Amino acid sequence: MEYKRIASKKMIHIAYYFPPIKSVGVNRSNRLANELASFFYSYTVFTTSNRNRLPSQTLPIDDSIRVVEVPTFDFRTVLSFFRKKDRVHFNTDFKKKFFLVWWAKLIASFPFNILFGQGGLIYIFTAFVKISRDVKKESDNFVILSVFHPYADHIVAYLVKRRFPKVLWIADFKDLHIDPVYRNYLWKPIQIWFNKKILKKANFLTTVSEGLAQNLKQFHEDIFILPNGTNQLEVQRKLRDDKFVISYTGSMYQGKAQLFFEALKALIEDGEISQDDIKLQQAGRDGDVWQAWVSKYGLTDVFLSKGVVSMSSAQKMQAESHVNLLFSTSHDGYKGIMTSKIYEYLAASNPIFVVIDGPKDEYFERALSGIDDIFIGYDAESIGRAKSFLLNLYLAWKDGKYPQISRSSWDKRYYWPKMIRRFLEKLELELN
């Protein structure tokens, strides 16, 4: 299919989090920009000047993409004056302190997110002025894509859309502003009012899963599901013969790990798995959390915390692991939390062990339906299935015949170059 209308349009992509900033939030914007850039007449990303102050990583940016830095003075800017460039984030225990939890909720909530949150007034005003200069002569020739979070990106797009109604605006959500699980906001009715007021101006919303789409329907009737996905298919798989390697890569959220540890410990105590064969490793900021878990279950001797590693190092760990772990949550009002990690695990092609803290998550299970060698469990009632899954994989490793997740079972759904076509078809229709 040819996208003739898209080819004549100019895209403005508003993304506070964009390379070279080192953050999970960067990945989605980076992939969107790289996949979409070649289809538009021009592609410009407006991002924060804090990208020069925050921890950095090297990610590819398409040569056709123009990046414009927007002057920013927000709390991230202030933190950078007092902390080393590679340590602008707080550790898990410090973030649990009452005053910091309250402050984080305050600056994520309207109207304080506009004043003091990431981005802030200077970023919002300057980005609006810069974009308006580009748009004013041919507003019907522009598409704007804004990405949450922070909400400042949506505020900029909203202001541009109000001034230039002919602009087509797409508001993207990789997670929720009004999150019923983490509840990282204050004054819920006020937050709902602001979201409805702002988002009704968008032509349509995009989000990462069916579960999030159900939640966002209170703000807009037109929502397109565009999963995080992966842009990798060929990952060098090199499994160890001497150790059965189980890995967790990335940050911890509210997921619980008890089901995994209880299943593994029971198999060891029953003599079905030898603890000497196990290597349990973790990469990310939450090594202290993992140290507490392995100590509780007597697995300290087989555990290695690698700390914060690069994305390429994390993907190498995933490709070399016999089991990749994912701990997630579900809530009656918020299911289908599909983090980017699950797609990295699919690309690694090794079996995946998922523990979901909360009620049965039909959206999550449906999203991974038809893909073999994935375990999804919830609580103690899943212990039998969990033990069988781990034991079967351990015995397969012993026999030298280890399973591999089939690429064909998921690539049409979650490989960026393939799934982005559905988004382009949607956009082409919107432009008619």
Residue 208 pLDDT > 60:
yes
- What H or E segment, with its residue span, contains residue 123? helix 120-135
The Cα 185–Cα 365 span in angstroms is: 28
What value does the mean pLDDT take over residues 136-152? 93
pLDDT tens for 28-80 read: 999 999 999 999 999 999 999 999 888 888 888 999 999 999 999 988 888 87
pLDDT tens for 228-255 read: 988 876 667 778 889 999 999 987 765 6
The Cα 328–Cα 351 span in angstroms is: 17
Closest CA to 124 of 135, 112, 114, 133: 114
Strand order in the sheet with 303-305: 303-305, 278-283, 244-249, 323-329, 352-357, 374-377
Residue 352 pLDDT > 60:
yes
| Domains 4-229+415-431 and 244-405 equal at CATH topology level | yes
Task: Write the DSSP string, 254-318.
Answer: S---HHHHHHHHHHHHTTSS-GGGEEEEEESS-HHHHHHHHHHTT-GGGEEE--S--HHHHHHHH
Q: For the chain, what is the largest distance between any 2 Cα atoms, rounded to a whole number of angstroms? A: 74
pLDDT attached to residue 94: 45
Confidence of residue 98 (pLDDT cuts 50, 70, 90): low
Domain boundaries, the chain: 4-229+415-431, 244-405
pTM of the predicted model as reported, rounded to 2 decimal places: 0.84
Residue 91 pLDDT > 60:
no
pLDDT attached to residue 330: 86
Task: Write the DSSP string, 369-423.
Answer: TT-SSEEEE-SGGGHHHHHHHHHHHHHHHHHT------GGGTHHHHBHHHHHHHH
Q: What would the CATH number be for the domain defined by 244-405? A: 3.40.50.2000
pLDDT tens for 284-328 read: 888 888 999 999 999 999 999 999 888 788 889 999 999 999 998
CATH superfamily assigned to domain 4-229+415-431: Glycogen Phosphorylase B; (3.40.50.2000)
Q: What are phi and psi of 142, to 5 degrees?
A: -115, 140
Tokens of 340: 């980017």
